[in-house]
Amino acid sequence: MLVSLHVKNMALIKEVEVEFGRGLNIMTGETGAGKSIVIGSVNIALGTGNFRDYVPEDADYALVELVFLTENPVVRRKLLEQDVPFEDNEIIITRKYKGGRASSKVNGETVPVSFVRELAGELIDIHGQHEHQSLLYEKNHLHILDEFAHDALKERLEQCRELHRGYVRAKREWQEARSDAGDRAKELDFLEFEIQEIEAATLIPGEDEELESSYRLMTNGQKIMESLSEAGSLTGASGYSGAADEIGRAVRALAGVQSYDEPLEELAGSLEEIESLLSDFNRGLSEYMDRFSFDEQELYRIEERLDLINRLKTKYGSTIEAILAYAKEKSERRTILMNYEDYIERLRKTYEKKRAEFLRVADEISQIRKNYAKQLADQIQRALVDLNFLEVRFEIAFGELAEPTEIGKDEICFMISTNPGLPLRPLASVASGGELSRIMLAIKAVMADKDAVETLIFDEIDTGISGRTAQSVSEKMAVIAKNHQVLCITHLAQIAAMADQHYIIEKKPADSKTVTNIGLLSEEESIQELARILGGAKITDAVVENAREMKELARNTKKGMGR
Fold of the CATH domain 135-163+350-446: Glutathione S-transferase Yfyf (Class Pi); Chain A, domain 2 (1.20.1050)
DSSP label at 3? Answer: E
DSSP string, 90-154: EEEEEEEEETTEEEEEETTEE--HHHHHHHHHHHEEEESHHHHHGGGSHHHHHHHHHHHTHHHHH
pLDDT for res 115: 92
Of 413, 422, 340, 350, nearest in space to 389 by CA = 422
What is the amino acid identity at position 24?
L
pLDDT for res 56: 86
CA dihedral sign, ordered 47, 49, 53, 56? negative
pLDDT for res 432: 66
Fold of the CATH domain 1-128+460-521: Rossmann fold (3.40.50)
Of 110, 27, 125, 69, nearest in space to 16 by CA = 27
Q: Sheet containing 408-417: which strands, arranged edge to edge?
A: 393-405, 408-417, 425-426
pLDDT for res 181: 52
DSSP string, 35-103: HHHHHHHHHHHTTSS-GGGT--TT-SEEEEEEEEE---HHHHHHHHHTT----TTEEEEEEEEETTEEE
pTM score: 0.64
Provide the pairing of β-strand 124-127 with 455-459: parallel
pLDDT for res 319: 93
pLDDT for res 293: 67
What is the amino acid identity at position 49?
G
pLDDT for res 271: 83
Question: Measured between alpha carbons, how far is 117 from 46 in angstroms, rounded to an integer?
Answer: 6
Domain boundaries, the chain: 1-128+460-521, 135-163+350-446, 201-334
Q: Is 49 exposed, middle or buried (0-12, 13-18, 19+ CB in 10 A)?
A: middle
pLDDT under 50 in the chain at which residues? Answer: none
